[in-house]
Chain A
Amino acid sequence: MTFASVSAVTVTLLLVGVFFVIMMNLNKMATTIEEDVEIRVHIDVAANEKDKDLLEEQISELGGIKSITYSSKEKELDNLIDSLGDKGDSFKLFEQDNPLNDVFIVKTKNPTDTIKAAEKIKKMNYVSSAKYGQGKVEKLFKVIKISRNVGMVLIVGLLFTAMFLISNTIKITIMARRREIEIMRLVGATNAFIRWPFFLEGLWLGILGSIVPIAAVSSAYYYLFDFIQAKLKDQEHFIQLIDFNPFVYQLSAVLLIMGAAIGIWGSLMSVRKFLKV
Chain B
Amino acid sequence: MIEMQEVSKTYPNGVNALSGINIHIEQGEFVYVVGTSGAGKSTFIKMMYREVRPSEGTISVNGINLSKLRLNKVPLLRRNIGVVFQDFKLLQNLSVYENVAFAMEVIEEQPAVIKRRVMETLELVGLKHKARMLPTELSGGEQQRVSIARSIVNAPKVVIADEPTGNLDPETSWEIMNIFEEINLRGTTIVMATHNKEIVNTIKHRVIAIEGGKIVRDEAKGEYGYES
By a beta-carbon cutoff of 8 Å, the part of chain A in contact with chain B is 179-180, 182-191, 193, 277
Contacts of A191 in B (CB 8 A): 72, 75
B window 76-128: CB within 8 A of A: 76-79, 83, 89, 91, 102-103, 106-108
- Would you list 11 pairs from A and B whose C-beta atoms are within 8 A, ordered by A residue? A183-B89, A184-B102, A185-B75, A185-B78, A186-B49, A186-B83, A187-B106, A188-B76, A188-B77, A188-B107, A277-B50
Main secondary structure of the interface of A (DSSP, over half): helix
Among candidates B49, B71, B83, B108, residue contacting A193 with C-beta atoms closer than 8 Å: B108
Query: From residue A273, how far is it (CB to closest CB) to chain B in Å?
Result: 15
B154 within 8 Å of A (CB atoms): yes
A182–B102 Cα gap in the complex (Å)? 13
Contacts of B154 in A (CB 8 A): 187-188
* Contact of B91 with A179 in the complex, beta carbons under 8 Å: yes
Given A185-B75, A191-B72, 4 other A-B residues pairs in contact with their CB atoms under 8 A: A183-B89, A185-B78, A277-B50, A277-B71
By a beta-carbon cutoff of 8 Å, the part of chain B in contact with chain A is 49-50, 71-72, 74-79, 83, 89, 91, 102-103, 106-108, 150, 154
* Contact of B89 with A193 in the complex, beta carbons under 8 Å: no
Contacts of B103 in A (CB 8 A): 187
Contacts of B107 in A (CB 8 A): 187-189
Residue on A nearest B85 in the bound complex, by CB: A186
Query: From residue A31, how far is it (CB to closest CB) to chain B in Å?
Result: 51
* A188-B79 contact, Cβ under 8 Å, with A183-B102, A193-B106, A277-B74: yes
Among candidates A179, A188, A189, A190, residue contacting B89 with C-beta atoms closer than 8 Å: A179
Residue on A nearest B90 in the bound complex, by CB: A183
Among candidates B49, B71, B91, B108, residue contacting A183 with C-beta atoms closer than 8 Å: B91
